[in-house]
Amino acid sequence: MTQIRLPEGVPGNTVATSHAASLTLLRLDRISAFPENPACSGNKVFKLLPLVERLAGSKTPVCLISVGGPWSNHLHALAALGRQLSVPVLGLVRGEPELWTPTLKDCRHWGMAIQFVRREQFRRRYEPDALREMAARAAAIHFPGLPRKAQIVIPEGGSEQQAMSGLALLAERIRHSVPAMDSLVLPVGSGGTLAGLRLALPAQVRVEGVMAARDTERVRQRVSDWLVSAGSTGDRLKATAPAAPWTLNDSQAGPGFGKLSAAQRLRQPQLESWLGTPLDPVYTLKMSLALEAGLRAGRYAGRHVVALHTGGLQGRRDLQDGPSEVVSRL
């Protein structure tokens, strides 16, 4: 089976700031699981790494099943991974069959079977039993005869306890790249990346997650549950994680997930020029807005801040786009 080869560090650059803080931007969008497949990139590489290792050690045929919206970075990366490893993938997608976004067109191109799910069903995706039942019903349609034991059901965003060991590797790469870091700022969707990094980073490093959606309390509870669960394993380092500093910043959640105010859209070119990188409108733009506001307010004074670009640039495309650059390269 194809192996994932990751660099020792994370590409990045120092960002000029007139405020009393040092700022480094680390770009996970430049890290891909496979050199020949640029689509499986960003934080998703590290979340999916334990899954790849599990598949490498198994001789039993399986099907990967996961859930997400029509612009899901997670489903996009999972579909690319399935193609690379020759493993069937089934995506449970919120919405109607008419909603073929560039993201879903890519997924279909790479062989992902797609089952659209009504919104009332989709709302139950955080309930483990409901998600497994949803997956089983869709699998019976697309893969008749597939036994349940062959169905690997992955929660939304790839955020689950299994992903934490992959995110610990990401924490090592971040510390290798910026040893002086004492504050980390990253965008947050499902909360898994924040939880995994908080678990693995030293307690003296402040971790701040910038919300992409207006569901702060749900994400706060999920992150807290992951931290407490890890602490109960008896690992002395991880047992300190619930008390280590982490916060959620929802000041830039705006109109909601995948939505921007006119003022937020107006700032995107300026922030991209400042940071020296393109930003996706769902996650990294909102993180950058919150980061800039925090710098102006002096919240990071005297600190060395690392801002984490988690990828997701495929989300910049609009519904009128033709085949993506990524598709044409595979």
Is pLDDT of 2 > 50? yes
Provide the mean pLDDT of the chain: 89
Q: Using H for helix, E for strand and C for coil, what is the string for 34-88?
A: ECCEEEEECHHHHHHHHHHHHHHCCCCCCEEEEEECCCCHHHHHHHHHHHHHCCC
DSSP letter assigned to residue 292: H
Give the residue with greater pLDDT, 231 vs 197: 197
Give the pLDDT score at 5: 73
Nearest residue to 223 via CA among 193, 182, 256, 253? 193
Where does the pLDDT of residue 329 fall: very low under 50, low under 70, confident under 90, or very high at 90 and above?
very low
H or E segment at 228? helix 216-231
H or E segment at 91? strand 89-94
pTM check: above 0.75: yes
Is pLDDT of 40 > 80? yes
Give the pLDDT score at 328: 35
| Residue 302: Cβ-neighbour burial (10 angstroms; 0-12, 13-18, 19+) | exposed
Q: Which two tokens stand for residue 202?
A: 């030293």
Is pLDDT of 318 > 80? no
Beta bridge partners of 304: 22
DSSP letter assigned to residue 95: S
Yes or no: say if 191 and 213 are a contact pair by the CB < 8 Å rule. no
**For 51-110, how does the pLDDT look when each residue is reduced to its tens digit (9 = 90+)?**
998 888 778 889 999 999 999 999 999 999 999 999 999 999 998 887 889 999 999 999
**For 122-172, how does the pLDDT look when each residue is reduced to its tens digit (9 = 90+)?**
999 999 999 999 999 999 999 999 999 999 999 999 999 889 999 999 999
Q: What is d(CA 67, CA 153) in angstroms, rounded to the nearest whole number?
A: 9
Give the pLDDT score at 330: 38
Query: Given the DSSP bridges, would you call strands 89-94 and 113-117 parallel, antiparallel or unpaired?
Result: parallel
**For 244-280, how does the pLDDT look when each residue is reduced to its tens digit (9 = 90+)?**
899 999 999 999 998 999 999 999 999 999 999 999 9
Sorted by sequence, the CB contacts under 8 Å of residue 179 that are 6+ apart come out as none
Structural domains present in the chain: 12-36+161-316 (3.40.50.1100), 44-158 (3.40.50.1100)
Q: How far is CA 181 from CA 243, 277, 289, 305, 308, in A?
A: 19, 20, 20, 6, 12
Where does the pLDDT of residue 327 fall: very low under 50, low under 70, confident under 90, or very high at 90 and above?
very low
- Scanning the structure block, which residue is given the tokens 């990828």? 311
Where does the pLDDT of residue 39 fall: very low under 50, low under 70, confident under 90, or very high at 90 and above?
confident
Give the residue with greater pLDDT, 84 vs 5: 84
Give the pLDDT score at 242: 60
For 202, what's the count of Cα atoms within 13 Å in the CB-facing half-sphere?
9
Beta bridge partners of 12: 26
Average of pLDDT values for 204-228? 95
Give the pLDDT score at 232: 53
Angle at which helices 73-85 and 43-56 cross, to 10° = 30
Yes or no: say if 300 and 294 are a contact pair by the CB < 8 Å rule. yes
